[in-house]
Amino acid sequence: MSFAQKLTGLVAGPTDAPQDDTPWYLRYGARGLGIFGAFFAILFGFWNCFGVITINFSSVLSGILQILVGILVMSIEAPMCCMFIDYAQKFAQVVETRPHWNRAAGYCVAAIPPVILEPGLASIFGCGLIFATGILYGMMSLGKKATLEQMRQAAVATSSDNKNGSMRPGNNLVTNAQPLSYTIPPPIHNPHGSNSPF
């Protein structure tokens, strides 16, 4: 495979076909935020590694983890940026075939340890963007919202079931629930008279 063919394959992305009927703006927005967040995670990871000057071990470890998380997200979201790593394209293709919630969970979990080790602005901003990318992928895993007509039909079906008494919202939790009542507490007997506070 020539260098030009490899380059065009990388620019095209791992897969051109979307996994589901996710809106294009959410799909490309999540990918763009992931690339942007990975770039800043790598940049601020190097910034945290300057903690070696002040002999701050947790800052250095946080920076190294942040750089690794940034490279991982960059290789998934933009494999053309990692074209000289042979397995980056294959890894991105494997991740693209997985459900969105896998990527969401992975990004959210991977973004937490650098912030715990060094809760500075560099860690919070760099890993926060990756965490936000995970949230967007989590929203994509929830699926598309129903159309207005489908929601109306579901509401009509629920209201007709309520008239029949067969199914009420919340009735499936406890079948023998009794209505709540309020009882007045008995009066307190005061042996010292009504004027005494004791």
At 18 the pLDDT is 47
At 16 the pLDDT is 45
User: Euclidean distance between the first and final Cα of the chain, in Å?
Assistant: 95
Helices 121-142 and 57-77 cross at an angle (nearest 10°) of 30
Report CA-CA distances (Å) from 29 to 114, 140, 180. Answer: 24, 11, 49
Which residues in 111-130 are b (16+ Cβ under 10 Å) and which e?
bebbbebbebebbbebbbbb
Digit-coded pLDDT (tens) for 175-187: 556 666 667 777 7
pTM of the model: 0.66
Is residue 7 a contact partner of residue 84, using CB atoms and an 8 Å limit? no
At 193 the pLDDT is 60
Digit-coded pLDDT (tens) for 60-78: 898 999 999 999 999 888 8
Whole-number Å distance between alpha carbons of 88 and 77:
10
Whole-number Å distance between alpha carbons of 81 and 197:
79
At 5 the pLDDT is 63
Averaged over successive runs of 10 residues, the pLDDT of the chain (198 residues) comes to 59 50 83 92 89 81 92 88 77 85 92 90 90 92 79 75 53 58 72 59
The token duo for 92 is: 């991105």
Burial of 42 (0-12, 13-18, 19+ CB in 10 A): buried
The full DSSP string for 58-106 is: HHHHHHHHHHHHHHHHHHHH-GGGGTTSTTHHHHHHHHHHS-HHHHHHH
73: Cα within 13 Å, side-chain hemisphere: 38
Could you tell me which residues come within 8 angstroms of residue 139 by beta carbon, excluding any fewer than 6 positions away? 26
At 147 the pLDDT is 78
Whole-number Å distance between alpha carbons of 61 and 45:
9
At 56 the pLDDT is 80
